[in-house]
Structure 1
Amino acid sequence: MSAALPPETAAAVVPLTEPADGVGEVVATEPGLRRVVEAFAAGTGPVAADAERASGYRYGQRTYLVQLRRAGAGTALIDPVALPDLSALGAAVGDAEWVLHAASQDLPGLAEHGLHPARVFDTELAARLLGMERVGLAAVVAEVLGLGLAKEHSAVDWSTRPLPVDWLRYAALDVEVLVELRERLGERLEEAGKAEWAAQEFEAVRTAPPPAPRPEPWRRTSGTHGLRDRRQLAIVRALWHARDTSARARDIAPGRVLPDRAIVAAAAATPRTVGQLVTLPEFAGKAARRRAAVWQRAIDEAMALPADRLPSLRGPRTDGPPPPRAWADRDPVAARRLAAAREIVAGLSEQLAVPVENLLQPDALRRLCWTPPEPATPDAVAEFLRGRGARPWQVGLLAERLAAAFAAVPGEAA
């Protein structure tokens, strides 16, 4: 998704540098919010929406700015920290369609502030279903509308107060183009025969439940794969939890409290004292040295654990299948099923210009291949896929094809 725009496209892009209505004040008072509610209630058509977080700076995924635009109402930039309850705004627009880019990222944060769209159009998902090579907002806007959105402020600290005017200009421009982009992408989806597919995908995103908590989130620490000792993994776990506690209390992104590379370095070195810990290059900085005693206590606790309380090298037990690389040894027939299924999905992906992961969730495909229904008839496969969250358009494309492929796998029961 990082390929550059073709030279002819890049040359034709017209930079967007200023919102049509200028950069307004950030709404941070109840009277200001009432005025926005009245304006949006009187507006017409879809609501363009975006939200900004500070995940690289603050703990969690809290929303620090909400941007909205509607015909007849203009653009509103709202501070959800000062105004945590925005439900009146949601009620004011009723069942209007909301247009977002990568809606799954913003909808949870909007919901925390009482904003629950009745209908959604996701311009990133639309671009994926249309087979566009680059699906970031700036790239899609450039390709479809011929307009250039600057993205240099996409990863700034949106918890900053007051927010700089340049950042607010960027935020306002993001929602200014969304409705027109939605119209153009909607036309393309109709022409490609994919409008119904898109509608099902948008509704699935809108109604998706919160993701289940990871059973052992500390295992996502970058670099842990290089550790092959359970005691070292216990140190990673202890440092991860100590870092998370500190980060939560200080409202700082965990990686800014202690980088992953420092956690892994300490686990590999297993220092026995604070003095040994601070000799590691990753703990040489002033901030790391200041809290070295905290980190060493976590290491000491891990070192003192009995063997039966050390984490497994294999990771937490789940109800899912093993990693595909192990299938050939553990269940050769399942491995052949997976190879056949992947070939079908890849072929359809190329034929329909839809990414493999959008044709069917990879986890659903693996589970189907590992433990298919018996017998794996088209109806049974369809039921299995629906149970794993597949949408009707995906089931319609894949159920019969996968059932036929399974029946042809060598060693498969008749």
Structure 2
Amino acid sequence: YVFLFSSVLITAGDTARGRFIAKAVCNEGEYQVKVLVDDPFSIEAQTAAEMGAMVVKGSLESLGRLWLATKGCRAVVCVVDPMDLDPQNGIETQKKIVKFARHCKELKQIKHFVLCTDFNLLTKKYNGDICKELSNIGFHFCHFVRLPSFCFEDFTERLSGMYQAVTQSSARIEVNLDAKRYFTTCCAEDAGNFVSSILHHPADHDTKKALMPNTTALTMKGYAQALSEATGYKVISCTTDQSSMEKEGRFPEGCGKQYGAIFDEINGTKNDSEKSGKDFERWAEDLKLAFRELFMKIRDMQALEDETKSHASQASELSTPKRIRPARPSTELVDQLRKVSPDASSMFLSNACKSIESMRLHRRLSSGHSRTPSFVQLGRVESKHKIEKGPATRTRTSSEVPTNETSNANSTLFNRSE
């Protein structure tokens, strides 16, 4: 009985907030953790699996396919991803959340429901009380956690497209947020610990109002200054428009438009309970090596894209069509990929590099540069990797674990060329 009904389902498990909540719960060891993701084969989903969580494909809308995800669960943490929010009208989003909660209640073993979202956007143009509506569904415990739409970790993940004109010593943050408006964020790691404490000690937390972990409110100029002090780069911020956020290549398809809409709706105020930015400064200081690596990656990708455009322009000027081999990029990774597949185009090499470098960055962020020592290992102890399958556990050394990310890219290159 304990095995069947001691699981917790966490939605948006492929985001920083969902991932760190899953991590905190896994570390406690009381619950078996399931995470709901859009793509089970993504880097984020693989990271969650390495922590010991079961990865399940699905979303708040795909209720018909959630029977496996919710089976055997005693608690559900509904983390509302910013991509699921309507920044201008939260009514449809609230309907999805309530429908999802009712579906969870139909499974009688689920006793605890936790909603984690940005209530400022969720309740926009909505006259009802989402907290009261969810409480009336009939869960034994129903908690509400007020989380900002973005967290510190998004500065190296989903918001990395805001860094433009990156050089060896400088970078520029470009978002459609007025320079005087405050942008509220939180540390996903701290939020994960906060939600984990609610799951393990539900009676100790208020169920009548939205709870909130420590948050930080700074202007973009303040965030840029903190990054400058932490990384040694000269980071500045400037205000751009919505069309610039939607520019192709900056963010994944559809994300730039959604992020820009969220920034447009930020009220820019600062609450007395929000900190001045010390938490973010300490976090950025601990991640300074990862930020430097991110900036170098962006700079190399920008150089490769510029080179690709240059060769495309030269090819179009030739009177006789002729294949122009792109010049050898300065990055070692691109050189390795070109050796594997010499016929691949520069654009394809650029995309392959982005994928591999993103994987490396995620691993770096997750395995060696976390604020709290308990969040460093992700199931790994020094150079040994534990692999658990049911009750049996075996350990293999790092020499047995494939570490060359280019092996995945190599197979992709050959498949694509075929």
Query: What TM-score, normalized by structure 2, do the two folds share?
Result: 0.26
Query: What TM-score, normalized by structure 1, do the two folds share?
Result: 0.26
- The structure number with the bigger radius of gyration is 1
Give the structure with the larger helix fraction.
Answer: 1
